Chain A
Amino acid sequence: MPYTVFISASPEDFDLVADLTRRLDRAHIGVAHHEADERRDLAELRAADELIALVTERALEDQWLVFEMGAAASLRKPVTQVVVGMDRRPLPFLMEEMPHVRYGDLEQFLSGLSSRAGSTPPRARAAAG
Chain B
Amino acid sequence: MRPVQRKRRLLPKHGPAYVVFLSHASADRWVASVLAEKIEAMGAKPWMDVKSLHGGSPVVPGILEGIWECQEAVILVTPMSASSQWVSFELGAARGLGKLVTPIFYGVDPAQLKPAADLRHVDLNELGVFLEDLRARIRKFRRH
Contact = CB atoms under 8 A, between A and B. Distances in A.
B5 interface: no
A97 B89 CA distance: 13
Interface in A55-82: 63-64, 66-75
A46 interface: yes
Interface string A38-62: 0110100110000000000000000
Contact of A74 (B1, B67, B114): B67
A63 B115 contact: yes
B60 A67 contact: no
B58 A97 contact: yes
Nearest to A68: B92
A93 B85 CA distance: 9
B20 interface: no
B90 interface: yes
Judged by DSSP, the binding face of B is helix
Contacts of B91: 67, 70
A45 to B, nearest CB: 7
Interface in A77-129: 92-95, 97-99
A42 B115 CA distance: 11
Interface in B80-129: 85-86, 88-97, 113-115, 118
Contacts of B96: 42, 45-46, 70-75
A46 B68 CA distance: 16
B136 interface: no
Nearest to A99: B1
Contacts of A70: 88-94, 96
Contacts of B50: none
Contacts of B67: 74
A95 B97 contact: no
A66 B129 CA distance: 30
Nearest to B4: A76
6 contacts: A39-B115, A67-B92, A70-B96, A71-B92, A73-B60, A94-B85
Task: Across the A-B interface, give the 8 residue pairs with the lowest CB-CB distance, nearest first.
Answer: A70-B92, A71-B96, A67-B92, A74-B93, A70-B89, A70-B93, A71-B92, A66-B88
Interface of A: 39-40, 42, 45-46, 63-64, 66-75, 92-95, 97-99
